A and B are shown apart, each in its own frame.
Chain A
């Protein structure tokens, strides 16, 4: 598998929708919004509950939530007088997949490096008499 750059992988993973990708990145770029997502990962929250831990107005909280909604990360529904938000984590799977892709990639590369170094060791061991350790370091001349 080739290793295109991350953006290419992610674009591919959000089904050719780079605008959606940008919206996700933008949504995650703010610490308040990240904290809101963490909060929502446990349970549904009303807008007021989401805003409570922060020193921000309801209007400001609502703006943050709109950004999260645009990224598809939060669904808001009106229950009577309450606006209840819940997490929709599906868009994040693209990001998780992206990270996993790189993790797999580098683990495979390091497997290959390990195999190569071990093969060199075997060649070196075969070339030297068994159980004999050279008394002197081999000369470094080539």
Chain B
């Protein structure tokens, strides 16, 4: 467990199942997940099972953007956890946790992006981590 780096939340006017499936269905994921406006999707491979891998490669003006990882938890439609690395076969990498809860007739998604393991050794999980310090100082300096 590494310290939390970034957390974003978003409400969708779509049922949790649809929001969840958009992460794992190759036809859908390739259109938004690591897709950028000026890029061209080259490769979308998703093994949507526990321990399965994914590879999403987009050709961009400044070179290929490659995203690889492995699914650590798949609990449709509530929770998806996967690693994110820039090299294929890298089991290290950042950890992304996607949590989805029903919200009226839509859903609320919270994504947590945790730092790669090579820096995790510096952080004590029992502590709220250095991000708190950064955030506090940032507020102070604002």
| A positions within 8 Å CB-CB of B | 1-8, 25-26, 28-29, 31, 34, 37-38, 41-42, 87, 89, 92, 95-96, 98-99, 102-103, 106-107, 109-110, 112-118, 121
In the bound assembly, the distance between CA atoms of A42 and B140 in angstroms comes to: 8
Number of interface residues of B (CB under 8 A): 49
Contact of B13 among A25, A87, A118 (CB under 8 A): A118
Q: Are B119 and A6 in contact, CB atoms less than 8 angstroms apart?
A: yes
| B positions within 8 Å CB-CB of A | 5-6, 8, 10, 12-14, 18-19, 22, 28, 31-36, 60, 62-63, 65, 67, 84-86, 93-94, 109, 111, 113, 115-116, 118-119, 122-124, 127, 130-138, 140-141
**Chain B residues closer than 8 Å to A114, beta-carbon distance:** 10, 12
Q: How many A-B residue pairs have CB under 8 A?
A: 113
Q: Are A2 and B13 in contact, CB atoms less than 8 angstroms apart?
A: no
CB within 8 Å for A31 and B127 given contacts A5-B116, A6-B5: yes
